[in-house]
Amino acid sequence: MAENRKRVVLIVVLLSILLSAVVAARRLVPSSVTSAVGSLPPMNYEELSSPPAQTTWNVPDYPAIGAMRDGGLHTLRLCETEFEGLEGTVYGLVPGREYGMIFIRDTSTMMPALQYFYGDQYLRTPIEEFLRRQYGSEAASADGDIPGDGAISGVIAAGGHIDKATVVSDEETHLIHAACQYYRAVGGTEWLQKELSGETIIARLNRALEWLYIHRFDDGHQLIKRGHTTDWGDIKLEAAPKPTNIDPDTDHWTCSIYDQALTYRALLDLAEMNQAVGDAARAHELKAQAEQLRRSANEKLWDSARGWYLLHLHVTPLVHDFPEEEMIGISNALAAHWGLSDPSRTQRLFSSLEGARLAARARKPGLSLYPPYPEGFFAHEQMSPGEYQNGGLWDWWGGMQITAEFETGFSAMALAHLRMVGKDWASHPAEVFEWQMPSTDEGWGSPNYASAAGTMTEAIVRGLFGVTIERDRARVLPRLRKHDGEIRAFQPSTGLYVSYDYMYGQDSIVLDYGSNHPRSIEVRLLFPLGRGIEEVSIDGAQVPHQVETLLQDSYCAFEAPSGVHRAMVRLQAH
């Protein structure tokens, strides 16, 4: 009896596997069948017509990219946390499982991914808690520092804990960006006008930026300043009991490309939000500030001879006995992505970043800087060459780099880089490391780093599949090139979804899609360079389109109605 039962179970398992294979084969028919209009497969109407249970994706040619979904989500789940805040429970994610606090810079960079797996409380409550704990004129950090009115803590934890890393200048800008992401995706204007402890959210955000310009704007260079870290790091060069705090009387000040890129983005984010609440005058002023900062950064930090932005310039005079100007930092990718750069600079800096990766023998993108600072330059013991923030390899930053490449006209490079990460993750499927040595597989820091899982998820959902879901817009920009793929993107906080099946053929590209978004879908479909567009149709009816070229990428742009439809782009003959 027991033996028969085992046979039955085995047969059921085998049938289940066979059925799954058949379903997968039907869902994504090989590309060859799409070369002729008459041989197209039927639409997967059932899946496309309703919100998926969860966000998933699949690229049959690259199963490692598909596997990154489960590895990333597993890491995010391990880093969930909750505690009692000032006015209710706070739900969020710590950067790594070993961390005991929610960090604003990590929250900001995880937001693009979290919105596809978590409900409203995980998106909204950390932002509101950071704002509720905003410093007043006499408020002190856990270490006794009094940063000044409007400042934002770098962390929040149970018991009202706040602590600002005063050596950096990105905590206010990260909070502004996190708030803008929530405003666009879920909150809307009503949320910006919500009062927290007697002050509206938009007023608190404005006060945060005012703190930055009062305490961190260098009049001489017309740039944002910070301590002497790497371009983005929070470890200063000087020896101190707490290396994340600056001594303004003795420590060195710099202006890094990282802070200029983040502040530029924050100024535009804040302008958008002020415009939404009807403050057009402030929005205009913020845009003017952004343009001034952009001009100053390009004038003073761009190295035209080398083709990248300098890590920083020195506000406090300091002469190194090594060529610091030969170092290239990962923040170059951020400057390109967030618009501080322009197309000609962007092309050069991505080429330079790739050259640095190859020179460092790094197996994937995300190289923090290269070459690193020499041994002993930083007093902190973990800042030896090639370690941590001094030349370590970070998936956290690699994810942002890949998204930047996808969105600035380098989709071929981005896909190649994403495949490198997928291959690396497959070698340690239960772990997403905080950072690694550039040329080895050895992982360091947290083995469950949610920040890395978040930015790599963004690189796939927003970068590769090109899906954006916001209250007022939905966008689909498939960058799969000649590889079939599918995505089911669901936003739990709103119930909105965008799903599609992408099929590439020699003469046509087919996009079967479904969405319940109240507005039409903006479609930008990447097509091969050197090919023209014969026509674009939706459900067999021809629709107008435009061709848009962004550096190395060309897109066929058209508007598509919400609902379930088949879009087809017919390519001109070679």
Q: Where are the beta strands (DSSP E) in 7-49?
A: none
- Within 427-501, residue ranges assigned H as helices are 450-458
**Alpha-carbon gap, residue 48 to 205, rounded angstroms:** 39
Q: Judge whether 293 and 267 are in contact, CB under 8 Å.
A: yes
**Alpha-carbon gap, residue 55 to 201, rounded angstroms:** 30
The β-bridge relationship of strands 521-527 and 473-476 is parallel
What are the φ/ψ torsions at residue 82 (nearest 5 degrees)? -155, 150
* pLDDT tens, position by position, 477-527: 999 999 999 999 999 999 999 999 999 999 999 999 999 999 999 999 999
pTM of the model: 0.93
What are the φ/ψ torsions at residue 512 (nearest 5 degrees)? -90, 125
238 by DSSP, 3-state: which? coil
Q: Judge whether 439 and 31 are in contact, CB under 8 Å.
A: no
CA nearest to 337, candidates 225, 459, 434: 459
Q: Report the number of secondary-structure helices (H) and strands (E) in the chain.
A: 15, 30
Question: What six digits make up the tokens of 40?
Answer: 């197209």
End-to-end alpha carbon distance in the chain: 65
For residue 221, what are the CA distances in angstroms to 213, 255, 297, 327?
13, 8, 9, 21
**Alpha-carbon gap, residue 264 to 258, rounded angstroms:** 10
C-alpha dihedral over 131, 133, 134, 140, to 10 degrees?
Answer: -170
pLDDT of amino acid 33? 37
Radius of gyration of the chain (CA): 24
Question: According to CATH, what is the number of the domain 2-49+483-571?
Answer: 2.60.40
In Å, how far from its chain's centre is CA 515?
23
Q: Where are the beta strands (DSSP E) in 104-179?
A: 155-157, 161-163
* CA angle (245, 251, 257) in 5-degree steps: 80
Report which DSSP code applies to 460.
I
Q: Does domain 63-468 have CATH number 3.30.70.1730?
A: no
- Within 136-237, residue ranges assigned H as helices are 171-182, 188-192, 201-216
497 by DSSP, 3-state: which? strand
**Alpha-carbon gap, residue 334 to 243, rounded angstroms:** 25
Q: Left (φ > 0), alpha (ψ -120 to 50) or beta: where does 143 sit?
A: alpha
501 by DSSP, 3-state: which? strand
User: Which residues in the chain come in under a pLDDT of 50?
Assistant: 1-37
CA nearest to 130, candidates 94, 155, 166, 99: 155
Cis amide linkage into residue 42, ω under 30° from 0: no
**Alpha-carbon gap, residue 167 to 316, rounded angstroms:** 14
**Alpha-carbon gap, residue 560 to 475, rounded angstroms:** 10
- Structural domain boundaries of the chain? 2-49+483-571, 63-468
Q: Where are the beta strands (DSSP E) in 241-326?
A: 253-256, 302-303, 308-309, 312-314
Q: Judge whether 71 and 429 are in contact, CB under 8 Å.
A: yes
Give the list of residues 6+ apart from residue 233 with CB closer than 8 angstroms, or none.
Answer: 368, 388, 389, 390
The β-bridge relationship of strands 467-470 and 56-58 is unpaired
Block residue for tokens 């899609």: 513
The CB density around residue 468, as the number of other CB atoms within 10 Å, is 18
Q: Which residues of 233-272 are buried (b: 16+ CB within 10 A; e: fewer)?
A: bbbbbbebeebbbbeeeebbbbbbbbbbbbbbbbbbbbbe
**Alpha-carbon gap, residue 264 to 261, rounded angstroms:** 5
Question: What six digits make up the tokens of 504?
Answer: 């590439």
pLDDT of amino acid 38? 52
Beta bridge partners of 560: 521
Give the list of residues 6+ apart from residue 377 with CB closer than 8 angstroms, or none.
Answer: 237, 383
**Alpha-carbon gap, residue 475 to 93, rounded angstroms:** 27
* pLDDT tens, position by position, 357-366: 999 999 999 9
**Hey, do 2-49+483-571 and 63-468 end up sharing a CATH topology, with the first three levels equal?**
no
The β-bridge relationship of strands 563-571 and 226-227 is unpaired
Question: What six digits make up the tokens of 544?
Answer: 């107008």
**Alpha-carbon gap, residue 564 to 355, rounded angstroms:** 44
**Alpha-carbon gap, residue 117 to 125, rounded angstroms:** 16
Torsion over CA: 453, 329, 245, 265 (sign) = negative
CA nearest to 113, candidates 463, 516, 517: 463
